[in-house]
Amino acid sequence: MSEQPPYLRIADELRQRIAEHVWEPGDRLPSRAQIGQEFGVGENVVRRAQELLISQGVLEGRAGSGTYVAEPRERVRVVRSSAREQPSGSPFRQDMKALRRQSDWESRTDAKVLAPAEIASRLGIAEGELCVRTTYEFLADGKPVQLSTSWEPYTITGGTLVVLPEGGPHAGAGVVNRMAEIGVTISHAVEQPEPRHATAEEASLLGIQKAAHVTHIRRTYYSDEGRPVETADIVVPAAHCEIVYEIPISR
């Protein structure tokens, strides 16, 4: 049986001290040199241990100040369910209301963006075809908890009142309801979740440590004719959000 890597051992020791209230939330940890000297390891080992705990939400790094015990933060429950596509409002708002949190989102839409290869493949169109791209930053009590980038083929919505997802008379209605306004019936969605590390841009937007763990969901909506009509990349920080799938059962 292989020996546990030193940085994992140090991470366990630091986690244990926090659990035993040796350090309380908001406390500044000793320097890496001090911790390394105590445990007989180098500063790089301590750094890796701290980065692991930061990615898990146990610690937080403050530029130019040091590493601190993170304040307890309630994880946001993100529910994924086709049954939650309702005309009356956003599923995200429903989740936040259940947690008694204020919800909001910021968005930016760019029309007539050339589809990159992966997006084109997911939408069943040629690379370089025009799409409407909308980026979202979802907020709970003013803090970012989810990112999303949505792509819709311009050939479907171009020249209609729903071409801008967050503009016009159907702003914020959601993909299913907006498509229904132009005669497109969405029958199902396919989601592919996978864990990975945050990019530098994602970490900055979400207020998390670079390379912290996130869940990346690739979601694609299909019409009742089997045509992909929208695809999105959804990113949620693993330490701050739990993803729950509700699956309707037909009898």
* Overall number of domains in the chain: 2
CA distance linking residue 50 with residue 30, whole number of Å: 12
Out of 43, 69, 95, a domain closes at: 69
pLDDT of residue 240: 80
**57 and 105 within one domain:** no
The domain boundary, picked from 26, 53, 69, lies at 69
Query: Which CATH number does the domain housing residue 128 bear?
Result: 3.40.1410.10
Range of the domain at 58: 6-69
Q: Is 112 left (phi over 0), alpha (psi -120 to 50) or beta?
A: left
Residues 101, 142: Cα–Cα separation, whole Å: 9
Q: What is the tens place of the pLDDT at every residue in 121-155?
A: 999 999 999 999 999 999 988 888 899 999 999 99
Question: Which of 22, 54, 69 is at the close of a domain?
Answer: 69
**pLDDT given for residue 241 in this prediction:** 82
- How far are the Cα atoms of 68, 137, 140, 194 from residue 143, in angstroms, in the given order? 19, 10, 5, 23
Do residues 114 and 227 share a domain? yes
In terms of domains, do 182 and 222 share one?
Answer: yes
Q: Are strands 76-80 and 103-114 parallel, antiparallel or unpaired?
A: unpaired
| pTM (two decimals) | 0.74
